[in-house]
Structure 1
Amino acid sequence: MSDLDHRVGVREANLVIRNLRLSNVNEANSDSLIEEIDRLFGIDEVSYNIQQGVIHLAYDATHIDLERIEATIRKHGAALHNDWWTQTKEGYYQFVDQNIKDNATHKPWSCHQSPQRSHRKRK
């Protein structure tokens, strides 16, 4: 896939896919919740499986992070499920998102740069 296969602002190199369980989601608030998350800049794809209570997210981690998505979820009266596995995944996802964001702005350096070539002919 290339960057052209995604929404505007989403780069393939920074794309992450997340699956998290939610609680307090019903048919009344699930549609508005998904629509608002889908409108956020950096979101490539979002869906919600109401039978399993799992939200599927694909987003560019340099433009949006899990905390902003969680704020939108809480705004609609829902929350991340309060079990140890969901909390463990959330912590790991936040770590990876921050790492991607930091690496995107980092300028590489090296003390082992190759010297500039002289324009002499080799014998």
Structure 2
Amino acid sequence: MSHIEHRLGVSEVNLVTRHLGLLRPIDSTKLNAAIEEIDQLYGLDKVTFDEKSDRLDFSYDASRLCIDCVEEILTKHDIQPRQGLWTHFKEEYYRFVDQNVKDNARHEPWSCHRTTSHTRK
């Protein structure tokens, strides 16, 4: 079993990978600036751009970040995700999973088998 080093703020338990297609034409200067800003987000593990498919691939700790954080930076740099039913479906699914991971990270497990703080005599 190999041990993979993750960036500071990234827990492997909460790590998710996302793929976001981008609309053409893509200004490479704006894209590089957006990727640089995304790369600085706390909780982000990695970000890459596949030129062949115009797709942004990134991994992050979903208890700290969400897809909206990345899309906000892309919008700020005037870069838009692809439009269409499939893209919309994937983005909504990503939001659902991100929220679920965030909720589960905050949830305190409960068990009826816990020991009580007082003892019976």
Q: Same fold (TM over 0.5)?
A: yes
TM-score normalised by the shorter chain: which range applies? Answer: 0.7 to 0.9
Structure 2 unaligned blocks of 5 or more: none
Please identify the structure whose Cα radius of gyration is greater: 1
SS in 2 for 1:64: coil
- d(CA) in 2 for partners of 1:5, 1:77: 33
Partner residue of 1:51? 52
- d(CA) in 1 for partners of 2:85, 2:42: 30
SS in 2 for 1:58: strand
Partner residue of 1:86? 87
Q: What value does the CA root-mean-square deviation take over the aligned residues? A: 1.9
SS in 2 for 1:23: coil
2:79 is aligned with 1:74: no
**What is the TM-score with the length of structure 2 in the denominator?**
0.86
2:26 is aligned with 1:29: no
Partner residue of 1:121? none
Structure 1 unaligned blocks of 5 or more: 119-123
Residue by residue over 1:71-108, the C-alpha shift from the partner in whole angstroms, topping out at 9 and shown as x without a partner, is 00100001111111111110000000000000000011
> Sequence identity, in percent?
40
Aligned residue type for 2:7? R
**What is the TM-score with the length of structure 1 in the denominator?**
0.85
How many matched pairs? 115
| CA-CA distance at 1:115 after TM superposition | 6.5
| CA-CA distance at 1:109 after TM superposition | 1.0
Residue by residue over 1:28-85, the C-alpha shift from the partner in whole angstroms, topping out at 9 and shown as x without a partner, is 2111111110011111000111231100010000111111111001000011111111
